[in-house]
Amino acid sequence: MDILKAAEKLMSMDESAWQRHSSPLSVYSRFSILPMFTFVIGIREHLGWWTLLLFGVVVLWTWLNPRLFSAPTTTNNWASMGTFGERVYLNQKNESLIPKHHLKTAKGIILLQLVGLPFWFYSLYSIDTLLMMISTLYLMFTKAWFVDRMVWLYKDVKDLNPIYQSWYKS
């Protein structure tokens, strides 16, 4: 999807950043981003103008996260393979090796994420704490499901491309 490619470009993900992002510390700590955005925006009435500063810190964390950790010595784990699968998926226009069932399922999960976004945005607008928690958990669940699907994708295609094979370190 073009939105994913745009996000990759916005994040300036070069080869070094991708290698660092394959660290489980990067992947797992990245799950903190949505709750942090939710929290900062959710308490904006209490923070006033400080909201902008904290929002900036979360944006900075979002950009820094894939670069902060060193590349892992082993990539034989769920988090690393999820990152590799995402790279394969982002390259789908240039890659005929991706099985159609993976593309269909990934697009379905992305659609489910898009369905949850209006509820999340409304919860932030209305400062509805319960809806914030539910919609944030929903979006985090669908993100974890997407990453899990990317692991499956990577496992299915890694032996078909020498570049993909080179990412795997047992």
Q: What is the pLDDT of residues 69-92, one digit of tens each?
A: 999 999 999 999 999 999 999 887
Residue 2 or residue 163, greater confidence: 163
Q: How confident is the model at residue 93 (pLDDT cuts 50, 70, 90)?
A: confident
Q: 4 pLDDT exceeds 80?
A: no
Say if residues 136 and 38 touch (Cβ distance below 8 Å). Answer: yes
Q: How confident is the model at residue 141 (pLDDT cuts 50, 70, 90)?
A: very high
- pTM of the entire predicted model: 0.86
Q: 156 pLDDT exceeds 80?
A: yes
CA-angle at 25, arms to 137 and 117, nearest 5°: 25
By CB neighbour count within 10 A (0-12 exposed, 13-18 middle, 19+ buried), where does 133 fall?
Answer: middle
What is the model's pLDDT at position 119? 98
What is the model's pLDDT at position 81? 96
pLDDT in tens, 36-56: 999 999 999 998 999 999 999
Tokens representing residue 120 in the block: 């999340």
Rounded Cα–Cα distance for residues 64 and 150 (Å): 22
